[in-house]
Amino acid sequence: MNRYLVLIGLLGVFTACFSRQPASLPPVQAEPETVPADPVGVQNRNLQRSIEAEGFSSKGTIQAVTEVPVYSRIGEQIVEFNLVLGQRVRKGQVVVRLNQSVLQDKIARGQAELEKAEFQYQSILMGQGYKRGELEEAPEEIRHLARVNSGYNTAKAALQQLEHELTYCTVTAPVSGAVSRIDATLYGAATPGVPLFYIVDTEHLKVCFDVLENELRKFQKGARIQVISIAYPTEVHQAEVSAISPVVEKSGMVHLEAVLQPHPHLMPGMTAIVTLQ
């Protein structure tokens, strides 16, 4: 009986031990991660918040409304070419000169041919009984036939053509602007149809950008927008929407263009941020 009582007591002790729950430990709090200072990132985030507050933003590209290639109309050697990249030129300014010696020789021969034809013309009229000082008194029909038979008309037209081609040796700027590309060299050959250089009209610029289809309702022709170039982020420029593409691209974007007010810091090819005013 004593044995049974001892066993029952030990069984109760073991049951009480196993039924106790372990005390819960307090949660371990993670130490805050130290983030290095990033002033550039802070500025970018602030700029992004400012743009988001505007309700719309898009990245665009500043382009020139006009970029004109300058050609030579005749194939001659370039004897004067003093242009450099970025140089500003005025409309009508002489920018290139070509060799004139070949054309001047042709003009001299043309003048001789015209004099010969004129002598033949007078001979034909005098052969019909008209005196040298009275040739202009002959009827127009007779004088016309005399000019044709003598070759006077052909020689005169050829000389006028050569004299006109001589003016092509002086190339002038078709528009005012800045030299954007140069393909010709001094003493090189000018080839008709091949540009000598390009002039970009920096006084007439536009910004091209894309908007999502669901944002198109915010825009119409004449809408005012603000443009900030990446190169000069503190300068805000005004622009006016001038063109809206009638086609929605497969990506769901619509292309827009806006005319920019000219500014010395704005150049074609610049990246800019566009926001609604």
In order along its 277 residues, the chain shows pLDDT tens digits of 555 554 555 555 455 444 454 444 455 454 555 545 555 455 545 545 544 444 678 999 999 988 999 999 999 999 999 899 999 999 999 999 999 999 999 999 999 999 999 999 999 999 888 888 888 888 999 999 999 999 999 999 999 999 999 999 999 999 888 999 999 999 999 999 999 999 998 888 999 999 999 999 889 899 999 999 999 999 999 999 999 999 999 999 999 999 998 888 998 899 999 998 7
Its sign, for the CA torsion 51, 55, 61, 67, is negative
- What is the spatial distance between Cα 18 and Cα 16, in angstroms, rounded to a whole number? 6
- 106: how many CB neighbours lie within 10 A of its CB? 17
Identify the pLDDT of residue 10.
54
Would you say 260 and 237 are in contact if contact means Cβ atoms under 8 Å apart?
yes
Identify the pLDDT of residue 203.
83
- What is the spatial distance between Cα 53 and Cα 50, in angstroms, rounded to a whole number? 5
| 136: nearest Cα among 148, 145, 125 | 125
Indicate the pTM of the whole model: 0.63
Would you say 84 and 185 are in contact if contact means Cβ atoms under 8 Å apart?
no
Report how far apart, in Å, the C-alpha atoms of 63 and of each of 202, 209, 269 are.
9, 11, 6
Would you say 125 and 137 are in contact if contact means Cβ atoms under 8 Å apart?
no
Report how far apart, in Å, the C-alpha atoms of 122 and of each of 12, 52, 213, 245 are.
153, 87, 79, 68
Rg (CA), the chain: 43
Identify the pLDDT of residue 45.
56
